């Protein structure tokens, strides 16, 4: 049972320990910043524990395990629906990416042990203010596995590879970086055409062209059988998570990709066409 006095007087940060040698150091650095935190082994952190502890932020520590090992330690999936910041360190980062749809791989020459340096991307974020004052930060590496594809919705903001820089044209739409969301002209839905549009959504064909040459085709059914069904599923999920507001009229919701995601390069012009759906296509030139 958690101490009721602690629960009453402190906003708490939770450190989920996966066996790292530096977990105590993480906690000490936080306490030096006057942040109240507690370390708990991953086996103890259950859904019920999270409800009672109610952390304001969570850190996944590193550890000696591999996400490929049988019975590899994991946090409960509920931790990702708490609506609080989560920091994954080493193994903690790898297990988070794997659970959220990213990809972790072994080997390929990326195992690292010892000192390395991290450099920031060209697009700065507020959380890194005060860092990289001399252009890079020293870190210590000790891992064999690596994240080869980040989970959807995440962005790379720093890297330890020499001279690595991120630019918006380097991004991809899935398993990578999101540079911008471009929304075309809306298709008006009325009582008269509602049924017709709903019937077309699973069967319409979208084409994706680069420089006028079609490189991919896809059907609406590629998105959970229909974009409308994907939207309905999202609405159901949100209705079960009261910490998030429900969908409202006028909001923009992406329900998934009809075609595959393709890399882009500066100077390329891409266009889309949605066939019989009646939705206006887009043409975008990347600079």
pTM of the entire structure? 0.52
Longest CA span, the chain: 66
Count of residues in the chain: 287
Domain ranges of the chain: 4-164, 194-285
Give me the pLDDT at residue 178, please: 46
Identify whether the C-beta of residue 83 lies closer than 8 Å to the C-beta of residue 42.
no
Give the whole-angstrom CA distance, residue 31 versus residue 195: 59
**pLDDT tens by residue, the chain, 287 residues:** 455 555 455 789 999 999 888 889 899 999 998 999 999 999 999 999 999 999 999 999 988 888 888 888 999 999 999 989 999 988 899 999 989 888 888 765 555 556 677 777 666 667 777 777 777 777 766 666 777 777 777 766 655 555 555 544 444 433 344 456 677 788 888 899 889 988 998 889 999 999 999 999 988 888 778 888 878 877 887 777 776 677 777 777 777 678 877 778 888 999 999 988 888 889 999 87
- Second-level CATH architecture of 4-164: 3-Layer(aba) Sandwich (3.40)
Residue with tokens 């049924």: 195
CA atoms within 13 A on the CB side of 85: 6
Identify whether the C-beta of residue 121 lies closer than 8 Å to the C-beta of residue 177.
no
Burial label, 40 (beta-carbon count in 10 A; 0-12, 13-18, 19+): middle
């Amino acid at each position: 049972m958690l101490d009721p006095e602690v629960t009453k007087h402190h906003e708490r940060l939770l450190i989920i320990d996966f066996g790292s040698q530096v977990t105590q150091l993480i906690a000490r650095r936080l306490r030096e910043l006057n942040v109240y935190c507690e370390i708990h082994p991953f086996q103890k952190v259950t859904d019920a524990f999270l409800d009672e502890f109610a952390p304001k932020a969570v850190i996944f520590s590193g550890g000696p395990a591999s996400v490929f090992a049988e019975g590899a330690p994991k946090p409960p999936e509920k931790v990702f629906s708490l609506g609080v910041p989560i920091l994954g360190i080493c193994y903690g980062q790898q297990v988070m990416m794997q659970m959220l749809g990213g990809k972790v791989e072994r080997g390929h020459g990326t195992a690292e042990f010892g000192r390395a340096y991290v450099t920031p991307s060209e697009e700065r974020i507020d959380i890194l203010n005060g860092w990289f004052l001399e252009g890079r930060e020293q870190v210590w590496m000790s891992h064999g596995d690596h994240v080869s594809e980040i989970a959807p919705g995440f962005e790379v903001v720093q890297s330890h590879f020499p001279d690595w820089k991120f630019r918006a044209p380097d991004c991809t739409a899935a398993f990578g970086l999101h540079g911008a969301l471009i929304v075309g002209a809306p298709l008006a839905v009325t009582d008269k055409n509602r049924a017709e549009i709903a019937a077309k959504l699973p069967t319409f064909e979208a084409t994706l062209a680069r420089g006028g040459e079609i490189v991919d085709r896809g059907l609406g059914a590629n998105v959970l059988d229909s974009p409308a069904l994907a939207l309905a599923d999202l609405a159901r999920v949100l209705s079960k998570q009261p910490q998030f507001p429900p969908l409202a009229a006028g909001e923009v919701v992406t329900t998934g990709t009809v075609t595959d995601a393709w890399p882009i390069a500066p100077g390329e012009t891409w266009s889309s066409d949605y066939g019989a759906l009646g939705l206006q296509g887009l043409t975008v030139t990347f600079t």
